[in-house]
Structure formats: structure tokens, C-alpha cells
Amino acid sequence: MSRIAAGTIVLVDWRSGAVPREPTKVRPAIVVEDHELFPEDYPNTLVVPLTRDEGLAHAAFAQRIDPTPENGANETSWALAHHVTSVSLQRVQPTPSRVTSKQLAGIRAHAALALGVSDS
């Protein structure tokens, strides 16, 4: 299986091994890693979760994702860049949906800000 391209919307199964305040079901997320940096057999990928709950979307760290045919969303969602995490590829199911390159750049910028590595 080849690496999942950045910007691809995936479904992540967080049902096992979760601790309080972590997702405990299959949830959408966006791959944010540069797949060309990792070898094909690397077992994890970097994602940010998607939510429809604007209350969870801290303005400085969330990217608004409005519905489009390309992303398959039915309503506005938020990419929670401050929740960037590494997940096992065994938990990930790719979808044909994806965000735009502009949205991906925004998510990465928000993640960099949350990690303290941004020039902003």
C-alpha cells in the first residue's frame, strides 16, 4: 500500500485504547504529513481530526472546511490542527475525499503555530 497523500480525508478508528477526553469511535480526519518524507513501510501517519462542533474549534488553531463535492462534507466542519497526532495505518481507512491545497496549507500553518514553530 502506498503512503496516503496529504490532504486526503480518512476515517480513523479510535474505538480501542482511548483514554478519557479522546475520541472513542470512527471519526474523520485529514492526513497532514508530507507522505514523501516517510518510507512506504512506515506504520503511522500524521492526521488532524475533523469536527462539526465549532465550540471545539479554537480560532487560532482550526481551519474551517466548508462543504464541497471534493471533500464530501454535508455541513461545515473544522480541522482541529492543535490535535495533530500520529495514528497507526491499521486504524486508517482512506476515502476519495480531500481538502484543497489552500486548506491543507492553512491546517499546517495552524499546527505549526500550536507547536510553536511558526514565524507568525
Q: How far apart are the first and last CA of the chain?
A: 37
Enter the C-alpha cell of residue 2. 502506498
Tens digits of residue pLDDT in 50-108: 999 999 899 899 999 999 999 999 999 999 999 999 999 998 999 999 999 999 999 99
pTM: predicted TM-score of the whole model, two decimal places: 0.85
Residues 110, 120: Cα–Cα separation, whole Å: 10
